[in-house]
Structure 1
């Protein structure tokens, strides 16, 4: 099991400017719990990169977040009836239904968007994420959001790129791993965060 005291002591000093709020501790615990439950034997660099991604995507809160914007913005961005032709075309390519824009906007530790993605990941998790706005909101539940983050990055569900493409044996590419989520946007910064998280991972000594 991950040595939580070591982990939090080092995170506090190297990533959180000497102080962790309870919500940040809770969020980190949720991510570590999800990892230990289903990925404990996987490459620690995977966990470190997922933590670095969540750190960046949530603006350091370590809590699932909603995409910024109101109903008008979500309609323009994600609805097939959007007044913006390029966004309407994108929505149609993604299989969006009229009215989807204000429901299937970004949520989570990474921004899960579009009905098709909510449906695909919901099926993998055995959860209904698409039948109603309340169902889509399950992606904001920390345990669900943590599993979406880790499974999505492991299996390449966000962009087709996955963790093993960048971390496997002697292979490691902390910068290009950003392609798992969002091209090379802020790639160097997230690589720094992820390496710092990697240095925080240690394990308890067995009996």
Structure 2
């Protein structure tokens, strides 16, 4: 999977760095999320389908999947790992503490609120629109019954 963050430049990720961040608040946030060395902001930048970020999250994924994402963070961008990381993170609340089953279960679907599972509420309306469109396409093209 091609990394989309490459065009931003290395300096963009200083805000995730415990040494290079522009203020103490950002430095503290970086340290609280496991980024403890200069260069960790860039090293543990967002990768994969959900942009796995922070050394702590790479460590959690390493522990769960038995793959060393801490020493090999680029592996998190590989589709064979990016998809399972996304599903695991959304179901277990790894990214923000929010879990997908809280927003989508049985006949209850709240795509807008479900945005909180990955990254707060930014672009929630847009993402909800595309989720509904995608669901509609799946329903129209699927041979499965509603009970499934």
TM normalised by structure 1 equals: 0.62
Mapped partners of 2:86, 2:50: distance in 1: 6
SS in 2 for 1:107: coil
Structure 1: segments with no counterpart, 5+ residues: 1-62
CA contact (8 A) 2:15 2:21 kept: no
- Aligned residue among 64, 71, 79 for 2:10: 71
Q: CA deviation at 1:174?
A: 1.6
SS in 2 for 1:96: coil
Cross-structure match for 1:80? 18
CA contact (8 A) 2:18 2:26 kept: yes
CA contact (8 A) 1:166 1:173 kept: yes
Matched, 1:120 2:60: yes
Q: CA deviation at 1:64?
A: 5.4
**Cα RMSD for the two superposed structures:** 1.9
Residue-pair matches, total: 139
TM normalised by structure 2 equals: 0.84
Cross-structure match for 2:80? 143
Cross-structure match for 1:174? 111
CA contact (8 A) 1:65 1:109 kept: no
| Alignment map for 1:22-33 (pairs within 5 Å) | none
Q: CA deviation at 1:181?
A: 1.0
SS in 2 for 1:127: coil
Deviations 1:33-88 (A, max 9, x none): xxxxxxxxxxxxxxxxxxxxxxxxxxxxxx553435222222x2121112412211
Cross-structure match for 1:93? 32
Cross-structure match for 1:193? 130
SS in 2 for 1:145: helix
Q: CA deviation at 1:95?
A: 2.1
Deviations 1:96-141 (A, max 9, x none): 121312210111111111100011012111110012xxx1000111
Mapped partners of 1:83, 1:119: distance in 2: 22
